[in-house]
Structure 1
Amino acid sequence: MKKVVFVCVENSNRSQMAEAFARIHGAGKVEALSAGSRPSGRVNPKAIEAMKELGYDLTTHTSKGLEAFNGKEVEVAVTMGCGDECPLVLAKQRVDWKIPDPRDMTPEQFREVRNLIETKVKELIQTL
């Protein structure tokens, strides 16, 4: 199993949904994790609702920081919006997805971001 960590700023929206999609579409192939460079401490209710629409329970996730990854190697580190703020995680491959933070978006726009994340996660899994 290959470890993939998804990182955004708050670990409340994008990285949480990416972790969920990697668990769904990469079951048995990847170990999906997520973290934030400045975690908010909670998963956004909008993200919980957006994933609930697809049958995934995001209430089991927690918002967390990068401390757990210090000195531990992962196969792929995917950053989403944290840019240079993201501390370096030891990764064999680094990918930066330019995905806007959906935190303040309408439900329709939020779903568009969710769907984009799902597409990108599926594409990533194909390359592993």
Structure 2
Amino acid sequence: MIPEVLFVCVHNAGRSQMAAALLHHHAQGRVRVRSAGSAPAESVNPAVVAVMAELGIDVSRELPKRLTSDAVEASDVVITMGCGDACPVFPGKRYLDWQLDDPAGQGVDAVRAIRDDIDQRVRSLLGELSSIVDER
């Protein structure tokens, strides 16, 4: 069984988009990945698109998506990034809250640092998920 991870932030235009793209990139099909926002923006933050392109990951065609109860319910792990009480909670789900700066309104250098922080967390998460998959 492939684990499912949902990344959630307010606008689904920065942190959650980077996290989803990075996990998708590193997991190479071993994890189902989604992202959503409690109040989605119209487009992905241009600075996020730029710093992800530096890694060869194209998020320019991604569109922010609205958080739904169905998406939470389908996930094994839900990682929130500043969405507060807007994230529905279901029993039996694993929830993590990653305290990260919001890239909105920040320059490429600041967003690059946020991306690198997210990348470290995603790699650690993938290690945890891999051991769970191996046990199944």
Question: How many pairs align?
Answer: 128
Alignment CA distance shift 1:107-1:71 (3 Å): closer
The one-character-per-residue Cα deviations of 1:8-63 (angstroms, maximum 9, x if unpaired) are 00000000000000101111210110000111121111111110111011013110
**Which structure 1 residue ranges, 5 or more long, are not aligned?**
none
TM-score (norm 1): 0.92
Unpaired runs of 5+ residues, structure 2, are: 130-136
Q: TM-score under structure 2 normalisation?
A: 0.87
- 1:65-123 per-residue CA deviation (whole Å, 9 max, x = no partner) reads 11273573311000001122223366621000000101122211110001000110111
Q: What is the match of residue 31 of structure 1?
A: 32
Aligned residues of 1:5 and 1:74 also touching (Cα < 8 A): yes
Q: How does 1:2-41 map to 2 (within 5 A)?
A: 2-41=3-42
Determine if contact 1:69/1:89 at 8 Å carries over to the other structure: no
Task: State how 1:17-96 maps to structure 2 within 5 Å.
Answer: 17-67=18-68, 69=70, 72-88=73-89, 92-96=93-97
Identity of aligned residues (%): 39
Do the aligned residues in 1 keep the contact of 2:44 with 2:60 (CA within 8 Å)? yes
* Greater strand content: 1
Q: Secondary structure of the residue that 1:7 maps to in structure 2?
A: strand
Higher mean displacement: 30-39 or 64-73:
64-73
Q: CA RMSD in A?
A: 1.7
